[in-house]
C-alpha cells in the first residue's frame, strides 16, 4: 500500500477514500483554512488544559507547603518526578497511536482512527495496572535511589504509594485526551480537565486536614484527592463520548479494537518505544537533577521544588503548541497536504516564542510573590529560588522551539533523531557542563546547565528538520 510520502509525490497513486462523518464535539478540520488562526484556535484548549492541570498542582503544593511544611513540599517534588517517569514510559505508545489517528482523520478513514484509539486504550489499561502494582512495592527503593532527604522521606513514601494506586485511571484519562486531540477535538479534554481540577482543589484541604466528615490523612490526603478527581473525570469523559457520539467512541464489533491487531501493535511499539524513550531521557535527566539538587540540602531542594512549579507554567505554551503542531501536521500529511506542513511548523515556532516570552517576563517580574505562595514569605528558600530563575528561566525559549520542531518530525513517524538529540543534550552535554563547572561555581553549575543544553538541542533539531530524511519516515504505517 502506498505510504503518505509516496502518495504526496504521486497523488493519483493513492486516492483518498471518501470522507466518513461522525459528530465529535469540538472537532476541527485541521487540513483547511488559515494556518496561524487554525493553529491558535486548536492550541488554546490544550493550553487551557495545561494551565488548569498545572494550577491544580500548584494549589495542591500551596496546601501542602502551608499546612505540612517544607519537608512535605520537597517530598511531593521527589514523588512527582517519579510519576512523570512512569507516564513517560507509556507516552510514546500514546503518541504513536495519536499519529495514526491524526493521519487516519486526515484521510477521512474514521474506522482506522477508532481502531488506533481502541488499541491505545487497551494497551494503556494493561500497562498502567502493571506499573501500579510494581510501584506500590518499589516506592521506598525508588526514593532511596533519589537520595530523598531524611526529613522528607516519610512524607514522600505516603504520597507516592497513594499516587501509584491511581495510575490506571490517570493513564486512561491521558490516553483518551491524547487520542481526542489527534482526532482534532481539543475541547472535550478541556471540559473534563476543568472538572478534575475543581474537584482536586476542593478535596485537597478537606482530606489533608480532615475537615467535617473527611478523615485527616495529611500528605496522603493530597494524593487521594487527586486520585478521586481523576477517576470521576475519567468516568465523565467516557459517558460524554457515548452521549455525544464522539468520533472515537467504540460500539458493537468496534469494542474488539481494544485488542490491537498485530500490524498496528508493531507500528505503535516500533514508533512508540523511541518516543517513550525520549520522555524517559527527559525524566531520567530530571531524576538525576533532583539527586544533584538534594545534595545541596533541604533549603535548595525546597527552592528547586518551588521553581519547578513556576517553570511548569512557562513551558505550557511550548507543550500546547507542540502538541497542536504535531496533530495538525499529522492530519495534513494524511490528507497529502504537504504544502502546509512547513507553514504549520513556522507558525508554531512564532506563536510559541511570543507566548513564552510574555510569560517569562511576567513571572520574573512577580517571582517573589509567587514563590511566597509555596514557601511562605519568610522562607530562606525564596532567595535561592529567585537566583535559580534569573540564571535559567530563559531556557524555555530555545526549549519551546525544539519542542515544536520535534512535534513536526513526530507527525510523520520520525522518532530516532529526536531521541538522539534529547539524549545528547540531556546527558553528555548537560551533565558535562555540571561536571566541569561545579568546582568553579558550585551549585550554579546545575542552573547554567539548563539553558546551555537547550541551545545545543535546538541547534541539532534545526539541522535535522532542514537536512534530515524525516519526510520519508512513515513507510510502515498501517492504512497509510
More confident residue, 74 or 442: 442
Contacts of 428 (CB under 8 A, 6+ apart): none
List, for residues 1-15, the tens digit of each pLDDT value: 333 333 333 323 333
pLDDT of residue 297: 85
Q: How many percent of the chain have pLDDT more than 90?
A: 26
Q: How many degrees, rounded to 5, is the angle at CA 143 between CA 159 and CA 169?
A: 45
List, for residues 178-218, the tens digit of each pLDDT value: 899 888 898 999 999 999 999 988 998 898 888 888 888 88
> Would you list the domain boundaries of the chain?
33-469
Is residue 350 within 8 Å of residue 304, measured between CB atoms? Answer: no
User: Is residue 121 scored above 80 in pLDDT?
Assistant: yes
More confident residue, 394 or 72: 394
Which of the four pLDDT bands, split at 50, 70 and 90, describes residue 428? very high
Highest mean pLDDT among 281-290, 352-361, 409-418: 352-361
Which of the four pLDDT bands, split at 50, 70 and 90, describes residue 26? low
Identify which of 354, 224, 374 has the alpha carbon closest to the alpha carbon of residue 312: 374
Residues 113-124: b if buried by 16+ CB within 10 A, e if exposed: bbbbbbbbbbbb
Q: Which three cell numbers stand for residue 226?
A: 487527586
More confident residue, 28 or 103: 103
Quick one: DSSP state of residue 11?
Answer: G
Identify which of 28, 105, 49, 458 has the alpha carbon closest to the alpha carbon of residue 233: 49
The three-class DSSP label of residue 331 is helix
What is the C-alpha separation between 96 and 116, in angstroms, rounded? Answer: 9
Per-residue pLDDT averaged across 168-184, rounded?
89
Strands (E), 279-365: none
What is the C-alpha separation between 460 and 85, in angstroms, rounded? Answer: 24
pLDDT of residue 473: 56
User: Is residue 155 scored above 50 in pLDDT?
Assistant: yes
Is residue 124 within 8 Å of residue 175, measured between CB atoms? Answer: yes
Question: Whole-model pTM above 0.85?
Answer: no
Is residue 124 within 8 Å of residue 172, measured between CB atoms? Answer: yes
Q: What is the DSSP secondary-structure string of 141-190?
A: HHHHHTT--HHHHHHHHHHHHHHHHTHHHHHHHHHHHHHHHHTTB-HHHH
Cell 487520542, residue located: 179
Q: How far is CA 240 from CA 181, 188, 248, 311, in A?
A: 15, 8, 11, 33
pLDDT of residue 273: 82
What is the C-alpha separation between 420 and 64, in angstroms, rounded? Answer: 38
pLDDT of residue 19: 43
pLDDT of residue 7: 31
Which of the four pLDDT bands, split at 50, 70 and 90, describes residue 145? confident
pLDDT of residue 459: 95
Identify which of 219, 248, 17, 240 has the alpha carbon closest to the alpha carbon of residue 111: 248
Which of the four pLDDT bands, split at 50, 70 and 90, describes residue 67? confident
List, for residues 234-265, the tens digit of each pLDDT value: 999 999 999 999 999 999 899 898 887 777 77
pLDDT of residue 85: 67
Q: Which three cell numbers stand for residue 294?
A: 538534594
CB atoms within 10 A of CB 383: 13
What is the C-alpha separation between 30 and 328, in angstroms, rounded? Answer: 5
pLDDT of residue 6: 30
List, for residues 330-350, the tens digit of each pLDDT value: 889 888 888 898 899 999 999
More confident residue, 438 or 313: 438
**Helices and strands per DSSP (H, E), number in the chain:** 18, 0
Q: How far is CA 204 from CA 130, 199, 200, in A?
A: 27, 8, 6
Tell me the Cα Rg of the chain: 22
Amino acid at each position: 500500500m502506498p505510504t503518505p510520502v509516496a502518495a504526496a509525490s504521486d497523488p493519483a497513486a493513492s486516492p483518498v477514500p471518501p470522507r466518513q462523518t461522525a459528530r465529535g464535539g469540538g472537532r476541527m478540520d485541521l487540513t483547511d483554512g488559515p494556518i496561524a488562526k487554525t493553529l491558535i484556535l486548536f492550541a488554546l484548549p490544550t493550553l487551557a488544559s495545561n494551565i488548569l492541570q498545572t494550577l491544580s498542582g500548584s494549589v495542591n503544593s500551596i496546601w501542602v507547603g502551608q499546612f505540612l511544611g517544607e519537608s512535605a513540599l520537597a517530598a511531593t517534588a521527589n514523588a512527582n518526578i517519579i510519576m512523570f517517569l512512569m507516564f513517560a514510559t507509556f507516552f510514546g505508545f500514546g503518541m504513536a497511536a495519536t499519529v495514526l489517528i491524526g493521519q487516519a482523520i486526515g484521510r477521512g478513514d474514521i474506522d482506522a482512527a477508532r481502531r488506533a484509539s481502541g488499541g491505545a486504550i487497551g494497551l494503556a489499561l494493561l500497562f498502567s495496572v502493571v506499573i501500579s502494582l510494581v510501584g506500590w512495592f518499589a516506592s521506598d527503593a525508588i526514593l532511596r535511589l533519589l537520595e530523598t532527604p531524611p526529613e522528607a522521606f516519610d512524607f514522600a513514601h505516603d504520597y507516592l504509594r497513594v499516587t501509584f494506586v491511581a495510575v490506571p485511571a490517570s493513564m486512561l484519562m491521558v490516553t483518551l485526551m491524547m487520542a481526542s486531540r489527534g482526532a482534532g477535538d481539543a475541547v472535550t479534554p478541556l471540559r473534563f480537565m476543568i472538572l478534575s481540577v475543581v474537584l482536586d482543589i476542593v478535596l485537597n484541604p478537606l482530606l489533608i486536614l480532615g475537615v467535617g466528615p473527611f478523615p485527616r490523612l495529611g500528605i496522603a490526603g493530597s494524593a487521594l484527592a487527586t486520585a478521586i478527581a481523576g477517576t470521576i473525570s475519567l468516568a465523565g469523559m467516557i459517558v460524554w463520548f457515548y452521549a455525544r457520539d464522539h468520533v472515537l467512541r467504540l460500539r458493537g464489533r468496534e469494542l474488539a479494537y481494544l485488542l490491537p491487531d498485530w500490524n498496528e501493535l508493531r507500528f505503535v511499539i516500533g514508533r512508540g518505544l523511541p518516543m517513550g524513550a525520549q520522555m524517559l531521557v527527559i525524566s531520567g535527566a530530571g531524576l538525576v537533577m533532583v539527586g544533584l539538587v538534594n545534595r545541596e540540602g533541604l533549603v535548595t531542594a525546597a527552592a528547586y521544588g518551588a521553581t519547578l512549579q513556576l517553570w511548569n507554567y512557562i513551558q505550557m505554551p511550548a507543550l500546547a503548541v507542540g502538541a497542536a503542531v504535531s496533530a495538525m501536521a499529522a492530519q495534513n500529511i494524511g490528507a497529502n497536504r504537504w504544502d502546509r506542513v512547513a507553514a504549520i511548523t513556522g507558525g508554531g515556532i512564532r506563536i510559541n516564542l511570543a507566548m513564552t516570552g510574555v510569560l517569562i517576563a511576567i513571572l520574573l517580574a512577580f517571582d517573589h510573590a509567587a514563590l511566597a505562595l509555596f514557601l511562605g514569605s519568610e522562607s530562606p528558600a525564596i532567595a535561592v529560588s529567585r537566583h535559580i530563575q534569573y540564571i535559567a528561566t530563559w531556557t524555555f525559549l530555545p526549549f519551546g522551539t525544539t519542542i515544536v520542531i520535534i512535534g513536526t518530525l513526530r507527525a510523520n513517524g520520525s522518532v530516532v533523531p529526536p531521541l538522539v538529540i534529547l539524549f545528547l543534550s540531556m546527558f553528555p552535554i548537560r551533565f558535562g557542563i555540571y561536571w566541569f563547572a561545579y568546582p568553579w561555581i558550585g551549585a550554579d553549575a546545575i542552573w547554567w546547565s539548563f539553558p546551555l543544553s537547550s541551545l545545543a538541542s535546538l541547534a541539532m533539531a534545526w539541522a535535522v528538520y532542514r537536512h534530515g530524511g524525516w519526510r520519508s519516515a512513515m513507510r510502515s504505517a498501517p492504512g497509510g
